[in-house]
Chain A
């Protein structure tokens, strides 16, 4: 699959071109990256999103310089960096395990990079204070990392990587060790930190919610390949293929046959005979089989006597706090998920066992061509 490479005319902070990475012998080894191309812009909050083992860390380590490529090239602000060792790259990393130096105080940890860059003492002290203030840890400067909580250690790691003012900051699942509340708070903090500093962030996560809330653009990866690059909206509303539709958020995938192609809109025949208008993700040809993706919140339940696209029986009702999720069983046995806001639920409540009709909000069905 060819990946989009963003806008090639703008100055790319990091350009990854056709990078392939095989661990072990070239023919029999493990293929972690299978031809990845990316253009990450300056000042961008760019996220690599994908399931475990898809090659996110490997790509990050290649950019940091800890891993060599099997083939392909990597550019930093237009310069090829293949031959630069990690300590010569103006790139800093926030490691997943933080990797704070246990034998140094918080301040010494943050000062480490500045000392290696031979900044004068006064300057180092000033920048350490600034960096610690930025992450609100000024009063912990003299402590050892082991005397801090997980969230505080995470922020020290962030301050340590930010202090040398790198051009690009790499973050490998930095929030995964934190509890939910802290994680949500840190999302906001990270995003505003990125905006304040203007540093390009490359953020790795397998948590789609994290990716959707923080990123300017997201690259969805699977099995060493980039599946789609785009804004949160692009990826959520206009998934390019089945993997992206399924991985990002929740969706219903329906088997269909393409009936009729009319530019920008395709008529699709459902298994049980209904006809559905969908926007295709690529070139669709009449007569071919495919999948239509419809988000649960774009479906509406109506009483069975009203006109609807599909008919079914409510199987289960799951209360999710702000939302209600209905699992509706269709005639052919497949299940459809329908989400309604709990606040609007009262008047059109359907209980398990009720017969219902299902409507689709116009313009929200997407035909996945892959």
Chain B
């Protein structure tokens, strides 16, 4: 009954294209060299950001216990509470949206709804940021944690939607019908059968939303109130006064965290793709 994942047969070997190797190496360097440098220099014993003075953990120590540590801890606390709340709420919205789009049958506004859900991914973030700011001003909403949270929930929805919808699309409707046939109510069919089957997608969507919220800068910077900082805005603020190696340490920590979450999201999204699919 399981069809597994079909791997597309590779017809052409990309490596044979002229210049492919050079281009690939070039892209890799541009993408990852800066990250690597930041990570390496976060362990630098000297205060210089260009000269290597030996290995040390002093900048990590400074991040956690130094002069600015209180500021960063506050920002980190804000970031995490906002990211978790935004991810939870946007995942709920995204799940409902996916159910509506894929399980409610054909309805008139479906293509439009699909566009509306995914459009935010294509709108330049600065436009969303300005628009959100104007909107909050217009309804006289006091800026602060609340405005950040609302904005994050909204722009996280399409990110959470993608893995959830992808997962749901692969689950045949026959399971819910079997549940209904066995006397389950619609809610029971959802809770006991469909939700467990789509759980990997939901979790994957949650992690993606979490990480997107955690490292958002532009929108946050626009809608945050005075004195309220998240990690990215706090880092930006600190960098304005000159780049110190402790910024590199924080960045490295965030990088590791992002990496873990994205990997988790990917692994979970893949998990059990076999068992959830039914041959039709």
Once the chains bind, are A64 and B181 in contact (CB under 8 Å)? Answer: yes
Chain B contacts to A: CB under 8 angstroms: 1-2, 172, 174-175, 177-185, 188, 192-193, 196-197, 272, 274-276, 278-280
Once the chains bind, are B181 and A93 in contact (CB under 8 Å)? Answer: yes
A112 to B197, CA, bound (A): 16
A312 interface residue, CB < 8 Å from B?
A: no
- Taking A99-B174, A99-B175 as contacts, is the C-beta distance between A164 and B278 under 8 angstroms? no
Collect the chain B residues with CB atoms within 8 Å of residue A64's CB: 181
Contact flags A115-159 to B (C-beta < 8 A → 1, else 0)? 011000000000000000000000000000110001001000000
A243 interface residue, CB < 8 Å from B?
A: no
A75 interface residue, CB < 8 Å from B?
A: no
- Taking A87-B185, A116-B188, A146-B275 as contacts, is the C-beta distance between A98 and B179 under 8 angstroms? no
Once the chains bind, are B180 and A164 in contact (CB under 8 Å)? Answer: no
A101 interface residue, CB < 8 Å from B?
A: yes
Closest 6 CB pairs of A and B: A113-B182, A116-B183, A99-B178, A102-B275, A99-B174, A86-B180
- Taking A102-B275, A102-B276 as contacts, is the C-beta distance between A117 and B183 under 8 angstroms? yes
A99 to B179, CA, bound (A): 9
Once the chains bind, are A87 and B276 in contact (CB under 8 Å)? Answer: no
Chain A interface, >50% SS class: mixed
Once the chains bind, are B178 and A116 in contact (CB under 8 Å)? Answer: no
- Taking A97-B280, A116-B188, A153-B1 as contacts, is the C-beta distance between A86 and B177 under 8 angstroms? yes
Once the chains bind, are B180 and A101 in contact (CB under 8 Å)? Answer: no
What are 23 inter-chain pairs, A to B, with CB distance below 8 A? A66-B181, A85-B180, A87-B180, A87-B181, A87-B182, A93-B178, A93-B181, A97-B278, A97-B280, A99-B172, A99-B178, A101-B175, A102-B2, A112-B182, A112-B184, A116-B182, A116-B184, A116-B185, A116-B188, A117-B183, A146-B2, A153-B1, A164-B183
Chain A contacts to B: CB under 8 angstroms: 64-66, 85-88, 91-93, 95, 97-103, 112-113, 116-117, 145-146, 150, 153, 160-161, 164
Once the chains bind, are A97 and B1 in contact (CB under 8 Å)? Answer: yes
Collect the chain A residues with CB atoms within 8 Å of residue B183's CB: 87-88, 113, 116-117, 164
Once the chains bind, are B276 and A95 in contact (CB under 8 Å)? Answer: no
Once the chains bind, are B275 and A97 in contact (CB under 8 Å)? Answer: no
Collect the chain B residues with CB atoms within 8 Å of residue A113's CB: 182-183
A100 to B183, CA, bound (A): 15
Once the chains bind, are A97 and B182 in contact (CB under 8 Å)? Answer: no
Give chain B nearest CB distance to A22 CB in angstroms: 16
Give chain B nearest CB distance to A166 CB in angstroms: 9
Once the chains bind, are B197 and A103 in contact (CB under 8 Å)? Answer: yes
